[in-house]
């Protein structure tokens, strides 16, 4: 049995934010897959949160662009029905088109940075979308890797307009710290379109190098301090040390464009019109056919079978039991075991939906795969739990500064004698998540023994 929301079946969770959960939904009548952005009940208790949600709907009503996730419909009177038949009325949600190609930055993290013609192809799409939005007086204000999706033709789709604004100037602390322009971080008034351009510059830098240019655009940041002190020679010297060719890895026109976009003084940064006139912007651009070839080649490399040995596992039933919990499919909250019937873990069937770059396939049996997942969780985290219903685990990973990433790993049946192991980032930093996935895949070793 599946949970439902009005005319949609709820298939699985796609992501979670401070005020909403995003689910993969399937329309009952047509089987069409959509993204359901469901606003949390507690978030609506705040007038300011409700105003933010209303603002998002009002803005999305105005938007229709090929490089933006478009809204299909919205409702404030949705009926949410749990698998056990209990229902809740008055659910607030948005139905959004589904970007089935996956997340651009997962692909970069798992397969490497893009050559400049490929990066230019995607930067052009970002600029086109911004021209459209800014022309309507809309600034996004939360451009980051998590909000850049791909459609089935490998085109960019910009998502999440929860922080978007139509104000001429802003002073609210909106966005994600790593991608904020310096004027936001120091508490100054700022011009929305200009902070979008600053974030787009960070995204372009990551596409070309696979790493961020700095931790945050603040004068005290170890990298951005060189921008503030007009020592861009040092900035590029240090970044060149991460590349085999040194500073020669970066073309002179790329350096010049980045220097302009990253400027501390927003009045000296280039506008979209000036960016479109820039030498780097007008360099060679990959064709659509070349983009498809590039992605196909990288995906083949990503799906290669492992020649490593199978890891040893020795997990007791007691270890599973003490970390196994029942969670509501709809809310994600822990349910009392006493109120539930006895459930054995079942092999859930894999529903493709969105192309993911953080998955791999195996011909090993599900018990071996789950024991391997449990061993990895125990070895790498002190905070984890196993689903009592399915072969799934939720694992929290913290970095040196105790920043946590919440990851759900599902083992599901694709076809007879073939399983998929898929990691989904629920919350936290996307770069840290991709590091987690690489370690998980490496740990599975010889279990990575099947292709898509």
Helix (H, G, I), strand (E, B) or coil at 430: helix
Under 8 Å between Cβ of 435 and 385: no
Strand ranges of the sheet holding 102-103, from the earlier edge strand across to the other edge: 102-103, 148-150, 156-158
Do 334 and 387 contact (CB within 8 A), yes or no?
Answer: no
Distances (CA, A) of 427 to 227, 358, 394: 30, 15, 11
DSSP 188-243: --B-HHHHHHHHHHHHHHHHHHSS-S-S-SSTTSTTHHHHHTT-HHHHHHHHHTTS
Rounded distance between C-alpha atoms, residue 328 and residue 313, angstroms? 29
Q: Which of 29, 58, 128, 142 is catalytic?
A: 142
Residues at the annotated binding site for ATP? 37
Binding-site residue set: 37
Give the CA radius of gyration of the chain. Answer: 23
* Nearest-5° Cα angle at 331, 410 to 43: 130
- What single string gives the DSSP state of each residue in 263-291? -SSGGGSPPHHHHHHSTTTTS----HHHH
For residue 142, indicate whether it is catalytic.
yes
**Active site residue ranges:** 142
């Amino acid at each position: 049995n599946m949970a439902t929301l009005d005319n949609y079946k709820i298939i699985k969770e796609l992501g979670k934010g401070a005020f909403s959960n995003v689910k993969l939904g399937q329309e009952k009548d047509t089987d069409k897959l959509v993204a359901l952005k469901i606003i949390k009940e507690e978030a609506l208790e705040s007038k300011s949160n409700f105003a933010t949600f209303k603002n998002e709907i009002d803005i999305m009503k105005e938007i229709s662009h090929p490089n933006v996730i478009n809204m299909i419909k919205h409702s404030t009177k949705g009926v949410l029905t749990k698998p056990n038949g209990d229902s809740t009325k008055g659910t607030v949600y948005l139905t959004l088109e589904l970007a089935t190609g996956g997340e651009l930055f997962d692909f970069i993290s798992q397969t490497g940075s893009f050559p400049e013609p490929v990066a230019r192809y995607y930067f052009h799409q970002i600029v086109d979308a911004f021209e459209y939005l800014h022309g309507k007086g809309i600034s996004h204000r939360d451009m980051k890797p998590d909000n850049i999706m791909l459609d089935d033709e490998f085109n960019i789709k910009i998502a999440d307009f929860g922080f978007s604004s139509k104000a001429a100037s802003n002073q609210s602390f909106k966005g994600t710290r790593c991608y904020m322009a310096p004027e936001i971080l120091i508490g100054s008034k700022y011009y929305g379109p200009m902070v979008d351009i600053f974030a787009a510059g960070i995204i372009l830098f990551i596409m070309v190098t696979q790493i961020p240019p700095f931790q945050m655009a603040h004068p005290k940041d170890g990298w951005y301090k060189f921008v503030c002190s007009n020592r861009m020679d040092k900035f590029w010297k240090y970044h060149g040390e991460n590349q085999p060719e040194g500073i020669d890895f970066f073309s002179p026109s790329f350096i010049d464009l980045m220097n302009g976009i990253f400027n501390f003084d927003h009045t000296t940064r280039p506008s979209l019109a000036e960016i479109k006139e820039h030498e780097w912007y007008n360099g060679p651009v990959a064709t659509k056919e070349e983009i498809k070839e590039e992605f196909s080649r990288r995906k083949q490399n990503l799906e290669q079978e492992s020649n490593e040995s199978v890891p040893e596992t020795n997990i007791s039933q007691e270890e599973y039991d003490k970390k196994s919990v029942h969670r509501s499919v709809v809310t994600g909250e822990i349910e009392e075991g006493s109120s539930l019937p006895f459930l054995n873990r079942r092999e859930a069937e894999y529903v493709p939906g969105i192309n993911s770059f953080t998955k791999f396939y195996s011909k090993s049996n599900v018990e071996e795969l789950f024991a391997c997942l449990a061993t990895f969780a125990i070895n790498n985290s002190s905070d984890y739990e196993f689903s009592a219903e399915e072969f799934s685990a939720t694992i929290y990973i913290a970095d040196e500064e105790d920043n946590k990433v919440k990851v759900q790993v599902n083992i599901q049946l694709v076809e007879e004698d073939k399983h998929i192991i898929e990691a989904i980032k629920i919350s936290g930093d996307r770069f840290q998540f991709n590091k987690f996935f690489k370690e998980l895949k490496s740990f599975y070793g010889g279990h990575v023994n099947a292709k898509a």
